[in-house]
Every structure is written in C-alpha cells, then in structure tokens.
Chains A and B, each alone.
Chain A
C-alpha cells in the first residue's frame, strides 16, 4: 500500500502519513470490518485520503535521493523503467491509480471499482485507455531502446 501511495504522491513523508492514518482509521473501526476485507478497506481509505491530499497540495516533486536509489537498484532496466515512469506520469491521477492497483496489487476490475468508487465498466474503460496510452508512449520512435 505504501508503494502505491508513494508512487502517486511522490513524497515519502506524506505517503507514510496517509498509510498511517489509514491504519488508524481501520483500527478505530475494527469492530465493523470483516477481517478478510481488511486489505481492500485499507486501500479504499488510503486511496481517498491520497486523492484529497493530491487535490489540496498538487505537489509534483520527485525526491532526488529516491530517484538515485531506484537507478542503482535497477541499473539494467534503467531506460525501460524510466520511459515507463515518464509515460505513467502523463496519465491522469485516476488512470495512474487504476494501473497501479492492477499491476502492483493484482486487484480485479470489481475490486478496483469498490476501492475507487467507480463502476466496473468505468474501471475497464479507463484502465484500457491508460494501457493503450502507455503502450503508445513506449513504441514512440524516440523511446524505442
């Protein structure tokens, strides 16, 4: 969940705050939460807090040390990864979240719909548009590795 939030917010401390307050909210409401659904409950809470946060701050700042760390760890994949990161940053907030919930967490369209408040067919359509946009960015001549 932290990975999902930090990739969207691009701010480590804010992401940690969002994760922590999602856990706090779950703890406060623990009586009414089905244990099996606790993960998607957390994602739902964190997703909405993240969206609120993005709307409030609109901070677009990638921490330099974080970029550095990623480069060192994934050196062989650096170009492909960087191009994909760039493509991802061009998507809308919603599209980016949908792609991350799918690829990082493996949620189904239905589960993503519950987390984001969209219906299943909206999830499918927005996600497919995002996928095509990412693919088109990757195949642009200047990005072909």
Chain B
C-alpha cells in the first residue's frame, strides 16, 4: 500500500469501511497527520457513516392477527 495525494480517497474509503489491516490503518492515520489539509475529508466521511438506530426493534406484539399467524406457524412446524 502506497498512499499519496492522488490515491488517498480510495484508502480513506477503505478505512471508513473497515477493510484495511491494522498496519494499513496506521498508514492512513500517519498520512493524515502529514497532510492535515485532508483531515476534514476523512472526518466528513466518518460522519457520513450510519449509526445503528437501536430504537427500531422487531415487535411481534403489534396485532392479534400476527400473533395468531405466528402461533399457527409454530404449531404447524412442531410436527415436522
């Protein structure tokens, strides 16, 4: 891996996607230290990552109809 000012974006993206080895990550971090004008780009890429929304949960208690379907499904498959 040879990161420079022409190909850094690819490495930033791989860094964000967690597809680099520990050594490669260190190289990206070192590169950013040596090129502080590019730090903001990495920061913005980090900020564009999605944060899992833990308030969204699968809730089977929504309707009596769904509960009936689920119970029927479990009942049916216990004899398989």
Query: How many A-B contacts at CB < 8 Å in the complex?
Result: 70
Q: Are A3 and B45 in contact (CB under 8 A)?
A: no
Q: How far is the CB of B79 from chain A (nearest CB, A)?
A: 13
Q: How many residues of B contact A (CB 8 A)?
A: 28
Question: In the assembly, what is the distance between CA of A102 and CA of B8, in Å?
Answer: 21
The answer to the question of B1 belonging to the interface, with a C-beta cut-off of 8 Å to chain A, is no
Q: How many residues of A contact B (CB 8 A)?
A: 39
Q: Are B70 and A20 in contact (CB under 8 A)?
A: yes
The answer to the question of B64 belonging to the interface, with a C-beta cut-off of 8 Å to chain A, is no
Q: Are A69 and B48 in contact (CB under 8 A)?
A: no
The answer to the question of A88 belonging to the interface, with a C-beta cut-off of 8 Å to chain B, is yes
Chain B residues with a Cβ under 8 A of chain A: 9-10, 13, 16-19, 41, 44-45, 47-53, 55-58, 60, 62, 66, 69-70, 73, 77
Chain A residues with a Cβ under 8 A of chain B: 1-3, 6-7, 12-13, 16, 19-20, 24, 27, 69-70, 73-74, 80-81, 84, 87-88, 99-100, 102-104, 106, 108-109, 124, 127-128, 131-132, 134-135, 137-139
